[in-house]
């Protein structure tokens, strides 16, 4: 019995193997470098290394005096003369790197290297001379800063084009890690277009496994020609040491921001006036396009409102460039100067629509990118009565119905609905009462988009 089973098993495996065709690679040839020659990238990084400087920033910080120390009885009791109670200053020091980009001494670094500094000093490789630098401009949104040292014949790095980069390209990170002096580390480009990292407001990072350590911030990421492709910015780590996940700001973004800082001392970003979010799998079933940024809310008196954008519109292109997600749209709009027109292509009710929008200046107090989606069932709703508004502090200008209860383990509970959510719109229907919800649920067939206001933030869910 066992013998028969063994033979059958061999036979079935043999038959199965005959149906599988693996793609076999041809035999590779192992080779050694030419005899007597040493493989080296010294020539590739030689010039770039001379363009990467050490930056030392000093910031004076006043230490606050505990309130109890100001009490005369307290000072007398502990024999503490008043002079000892004067505010004291301490010096915060930070080390980083920077890249010389012009022969007359403009240096690009990270904003966090020089942020709030009272003094900035620069040392050039191969020289003991210390230059006092002037802060030309900083941009916290991209973590880019420009400083200036006086001179006319500095080595300036050559700029590349980060749009042509490919995953797997050989790269070198040049900087001043831990303040030990000039250092070069090798790696590859691990990924491109990394966003939602949570480091900056505008993110489009180059990810690399080239070692980026403390002090490398603001240094150069160069390709195998020694051409600048990015500014090293941050690492992803739990211990503080390098774990092979480093991020650099692409040189094309660096050039755009640096030019505005040099010419105007600040960076102005285009502003559309929408709250946006990514498409999740449930929302993809509603739209014909499977990528883009969905509009959750349109603010009053904004370019988006004037151009006719509405909640539920799926923005898929800006000036003909495909938009893959919300972060992509944010970067595309932010890269356009205020006052300039852009063509926006969006999907509405299954059809593509083109509009022209004149962007406004980005307000300093606004930054929106929100989203929360799911499937809803098992909700208890109530109209927004004056009593409920008064109890919960809901402004009179917010209309809708409030979620008073979410049944445990219901579809709504699993989807993330919460008591206190205010349903404000279902598809194209504005909601003012529970009756409006019932009518809207009957009016629209299939899956429906439900917009809610959760503590002042507009979110979207899918029902049906």
For residue range 211-251, list pLDDT tens digits in order: 887 777 889 999 999 999 999 987 765 555 556 688 889 99
Do 275 and 366 form a contact (C-beta atoms < 8 A)? no
Separation CA 230–CA 295 (nearest Å):
32
Best CA proximity match to 213, nearest among 174, 252, 161, 250: 174
Catalogue the active-site residues. 112, 143, 217
What local confidence, expressed as pLDDT, does residue 324 receive? 87
pLDDT at 132 over 80: yes
Residue 424's contacts (CB-CB under 8 Å, 6 or more residues apart) are 398, 399, 400, 430, 431, 451, 452, 453, 458
Do 187 and 175 form a contact (C-beta atoms < 8 A)? no
Best CA proximity match to 135, nearest among 60, 201, 55: 55
SS (H, E, C) the chain: CHHHHHHHHHHHHHHHHCCCCCCCCCCCCCCCCCCCCCCCCHHHHHHHHHHEEEEEEEEEEEECCCHHHHCHHHHHHCCCCHHHHCCEEEEEEEEEEEEECCCCCEEEEEHHHHCCCCEEEEECCCCCCEEECEEEEEECCCCEEEEECCCCCCCCCCECCHHHCCCCCEEEEEECHHHCCCEEEEEEEEEEEECCCCCCCCCCEEEECCCCCCCCCCCEEEECCCCEEEEEEEECCCCCCCCCCEEEEEHHHHHHHHHHHHHHCCCCCEECCEEEECCCHHHHCCCCCCCCEEEEEECCCCHHHHHCCCCCCEEEEECCEECCCHHHHHHHHHCCCCCCEEEEEEEECCEEEEEEEECEECCCCCCCCCCCCCECCCEEEEECCHHHHHHHCCCCCCCCEEEEEECCCCHHHHHCCCCCCEEEEECCEECCCHHHHHHHHHHCCCCEEEEEEECCEEEEEEEC
pLDDT at 13 over 50: no
Domains of the chain with CATH codes: 43-82+89-148 (2.40.10.10), 162-264 (2.40.10.10), 270-361 (2.30.42.10), 379-463 (2.30.42.10)
Best CA proximity match to 420, nearest among 381, 448, 446: 381
pLDDT at 264 over 80: yes
pLDDT at 10 over 70: no
pLDDT band at 383 (very low <50, low <70, confident <90, very high): confident
Give phi and psi for 431, each to the nearest 5: -105, 125
Mean pLDDT in the chain?
79
What local confidence, expressed as pLDDT, does residue 94 receive? 64
pLDDT digits (tens, 9 = 90+) for 315-349: 999 998 998 888 888 888 888 888 899 999 999 98
Do 184 and 45 form a contact (C-beta atoms < 8 A)? yes
pLDDT at 115 over 80: yes
pLDDT at 452 over 60: yes
pLDDT at 185 over 50: yes
Separation CA 217–CA 455 (nearest Å):
37
pLDDT at 458 over 90: no
pLDDT greater at residue 76 or residue 375: 76
**Interior CA angle at 29 toward 24 and 35, to 5°?**
165
Q: In 181-214, which positions are buried (b, 16+ CB within 10 angstroms) versus exposed (e)? A: ebbbbebebbebbbbeeebbebbbbbbbbbbbbb
pLDDT at 28 over 60: yes
Do 431 and 450 form a contact (C-beta atoms < 8 A)? no
45: left (phi over 0), alpha (psi -120 to 50) or beta: alpha
pLDDT greater at residue 455 or residue 292: 292
**Interior CA angle at 369 toward 365 and 371, to 5°?**
140
What local confidence, expressed as pLDDT, does residue 109 receive? 92
What local confidence, expressed as pLDDT, does residue 439 receive? 78
Separation CA 312–CA 460 (nearest Å):
9
What local confidence, expressed as pLDDT, does residue 158 receive? 92
pLDDT band at 146 (very low <50, low <70, confident <90, very high): very high
Token pair of 353 as six digits:
């629509």
pLDDT digits (tens, 9 = 90+) for 51-79: 999 888 877 655 544 444 444 544 455 45
What local confidence, expressed as pLDDT, does residue 368 receive? 35
Average pLDDT estimate for 23-42: 80
Do 218 and 96 form a contact (C-beta atoms < 8 A)? yes
What local confidence, expressed as pLDDT, does residue 254 receive? 92
Give phi and psi for 250, each to the nearest 5: -60, 145
pLDDT digits (tens, 9 = 90+) for 407-440: 777 777 666 677 888 989 888 888 888 878 877 8
pLDDT band at 29 (very low <50, low <70, confident <90, very high): confident
Separation CA 41–CA 185 (nearest Å):
11
pLDDT greater at residue 314 or residue 410: 314
What local confidence, expressed as pLDDT, does residue 67 receive? 47
Average pLDDT estimate for 23-43: 80
What local confidence, expressed as pLDDT, does residue 255 receive? 92
pLDDT at 144 over 90: yes
pLDDT greater at residue 124 or residue 180: 124
Token pair of 435 as six digits:
């009756």
Q: What percent of the chain has pLDDT over 90?
A: 21
Token pair of 272 as six digits:
């559309």
Separation CA 324–CA 331 (nearest Å):
11
């Amino acid at each position: 019995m066992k013998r028969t089973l063994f033979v059958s098993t061999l036979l079935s495996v043999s038959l199965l193997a005959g149906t599988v065709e693996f793609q076999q690679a041809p035999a590779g040839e192992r080779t050694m470098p030419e005899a007597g020659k040493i493989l080296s990238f010294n020539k590739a990084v030689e010039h770039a290394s001379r363009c990467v400087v050490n930056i030392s920033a000093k910031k004076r910080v006043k230490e606050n005096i505990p309130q109890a120390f100001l009490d005369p009885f307290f000072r007398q009791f502990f024999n503490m003369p008043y002079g000892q109670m004067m505010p004291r200053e301490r010096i915060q020091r930070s080390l980083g790197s920077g890249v010389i980009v012009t022969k007359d001494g403009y240096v690009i670094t990270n904003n966090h290297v020089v942020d709030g500094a009272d003094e900035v000093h620069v040392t050039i490789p191969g020289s003991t001379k210390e230059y006092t630098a002037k802060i030309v401009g900083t941009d916290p949104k991209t973590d880019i800063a420009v400083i200036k040292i006086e001179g006319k014949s500095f080595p300036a790095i050559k700029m590349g084009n980060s749009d042509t980069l490919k995953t797997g390209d050989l790269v070198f990170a040049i900087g001043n890690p831990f303040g030990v002096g000039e250092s070069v580390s090798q790696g590859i480009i691990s990924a491109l277009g990394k966003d939602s990292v949570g480091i900056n407001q505008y993110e489009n990072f180059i990810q690399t496994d080239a070692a980026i350590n403390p002090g490398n911030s603001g240094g150069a990421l160069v390709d195998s020609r020694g051409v600048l492709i990015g500014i090293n910015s941050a690492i992803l780590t739990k211990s503080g040491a390098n774990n092979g996940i480093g991020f650099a700001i692409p040189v094309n973004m660096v050039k755009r921001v640096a030019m505005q800082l040099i010419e105007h001392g600040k960076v102005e970003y285009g502003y559309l006036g929408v709250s946006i979010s990514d498409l999740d799998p449930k929302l993809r079933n509603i739209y014909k396009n499977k990528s883009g940024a969905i509009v959750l809310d349109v603010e009053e008196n904004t370019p988006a409102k004037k151009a006719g954008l509405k909640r539920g519109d799926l923005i898929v292109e800006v000036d003909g460039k495909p938009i893959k997600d919300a972060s992509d749209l944010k970067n595309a709009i932010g890269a356009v100067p205020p006052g300039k027109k852009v063509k926006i292509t969006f999907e509405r009710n299954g059809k593509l629509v083109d509009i022209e929008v004149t962007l406004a200046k980005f307000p300093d107090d606004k930054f929106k990118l929100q989203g929360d989606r799911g499937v809803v069932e098992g909700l208890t709703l109530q109209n927004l009565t004056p009593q409920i508004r008064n109890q919960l502090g809901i402004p009179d200008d917010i209309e809708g119905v409030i979620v008073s209860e979410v049944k445990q383990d219901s579809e709504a509970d699993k989807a993330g609905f919460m008591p206190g959510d205010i349903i404000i719109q279902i598809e194209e229907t504005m909601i003012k009462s529970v009756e409006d919800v019932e009518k809207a649920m009957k009016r629209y067939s299939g899956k429906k988009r439900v917009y809610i206001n959760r503590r002042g933030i507009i979110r979207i869910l899918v029902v049906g």
